[in-house]
Chain A
Amino acid sequence: MTPLTYLRIWMAGARYSVVRTLMFRGDFVVWSLVELFWMTVNVMMIAVIYSHIASIAGWSEYEMMLLVGTSMLIQRLLMGFFWSNFYEMGRNIRTGAFDFYLAQPGNPLLMVSTRKLDLDGLANSVIALALVIYSTHRLGLHPGPRDIALYGILVLAGLVVHYSLLVLTNSTTFWLKSAQGLEGSYFTLAEFGRLPREAFKGLGSLVLVWILPVVVTTNAPARTILHGFHLAWALWLFAAAILWLGIAVFVFNRGLRQYSSASS
């Protein structure tokens, strides 16, 4: 299948998701509110902490808001494009309904990933972006088109890393038959992405900044807006994205071999 064919399949999935959202408008409103509440909670946390101090690891209040906004943006994009597809994958593996994806004449990982969209997640990514723009404005920064484009590219590279972590945690279902409890592990890992890189010291820095790549996914784009483009940060993020996507694809394909299809 050509990339164009995949794009057309994805567009068909997107159309189906829009129609489905229009059918369940109440659900859309409730879930949009859920995501909005969680974002508000994080912003409130920063506001409360900064009412007592001036900086965290050298980051001022609005620099921190920009970092958290970037983290939310990546996470909402992940929720919008991929989360429910992988949530369903775990259930489908258990029930055997995963056969449906294997029977399709396409790459199983791509078919799983592009089944549907969550419009509430995508709607909230706009709000996360608004938080980033507001923080930039409060900081008195005026990033040029080049910095904005680089920010966008780095956010997409960050999304690739988060996507890889999502694939990895959910692929455990192929072996464990239940990722219950592990599904939430992605969120726990992602929490590190809301912290400035400078907050990590010693062994924590080695493991959480260098080995687990969630810190770089948010810090690299945020720093591009704050301090301009830094090649080393960008290369680090791109390398992490390629490496972790490779690992995720490898583990997913290994997992497929474990899949024993539907029971009778």
Chain B
Amino acid sequence: MNKYRQAFLIGLQGSLVYRWTFAVRSVFSLVQLLVVFILWGAVYAGSPVVGGFVFGQTLTYFTVLVVLQFFTSAFNEDYQISEEIRNGLINQFLLKPIDYFLYRLSIFFSARVVSGVIVLVPMATAFVLLRGRLVLPHEAWRLAFGLPALAMSAFIQFSIAYCFGMLTFWLLEIQGFVILSMAVESILGGQLFPLDLLPAGLFRAAQFLPFYYQTYFPAAILSGRITRDLAGQGLALQLFWTLALVGVARLLWRRGLGRYTAVGG
């Protein structure tokens, strides 16, 4: 366990080098919130209730979503893993008693600690600017359900990024596939609109996909968009997807190593 703690600490130092990149990204997330504010402000100007929610609730959803992304989303882990495979840097992990998945997971968590702390500054500004407009729910169960949902969301997002990184064993270039999946995730993860605005059948179908649990699910629990029953069912399905994706990630590593040719000295 100590070796992964050391990896986490090294990851912290490495992420601090990119603190300005995270800072720039977090400032631009404020601009994205402004787009949300203008678009949804115009949507609600013609109708005070959309899909059963008022403007404040939708604004709260997007604000929570933006903050959570800095704590749980994989930013460029897929590219980092891909680079390590392509350049033969994984050779060292094949010779040492270190589990590559757990090593990368430790680095991922350290990066999320840094990006999570950095986003708090612009988001504190956003909360001040939007105070009086945000509608935060008060039920205690939302925190009890929301925190495990958040933790599993991080595992799901990391595992998906890890799986894309693993594709490097088979493909030369993964960038196209990563950006393709980002388009799917942005719509089915509820990053463009709250998924509950989908027609009922499609919303139900989305609940069986892993993307639902990446961002929409924890944000919807914490911002008060879904009921306790739906959250309870969701946690069970989220646990299934977490285990399944971690399993697929590990399987791809084993299969990929079978094809791997170690290069470099």
Contacts and interface: CB of A to CB of B under 8 A. Distances in A.
A2 interface: no
Chain B's interface size range is 20 to 34
Interface string A108-120: 0000000000000
Interface residues of A, number: 37
Contact of A185 (B28, B42, B184, B198): B28
B187 A45 contact: yes
B155 to A, nearest CB: 25
A188 B31 CA distance: 7
B179 interface: yes
Contact of A52 (B24, B45, B47, B192): B47
A176 B176 CA distance: 27
B198 A48 contact: yes
B136 to A, nearest CB: 23
A84 to B, nearest CB: 12
Interface of B: 20-21, 24-25, 28, 31-32, 34-35, 38-39, 41-43, 45-47, 50-51, 173, 176-177, 179-180, 183-184, 186-187, 192-193, 197-199
Interface of A: 27, 30-31, 33-34, 37-38, 40-41, 44-45, 48-49, 51-57, 180-182, 184-185, 188-189, 191-192, 195-196, 198-201, 204, 208
12 contacts: A31-B176, A34-B176, A34-B183, A41-B183, A44-B192, A49-B193, A53-B46, A53-B50, A56-B39, A188-B35, A192-B35, A199-B41
Given A41-B186, A181-B25, A204-B34, 12 more contacts: A33-B180, A48-B193, A48-B197, A52-B51, A53-B43, A54-B46, A57-B45, A181-B24, A195-B42, A199-B42, A204-B38, A208-B38
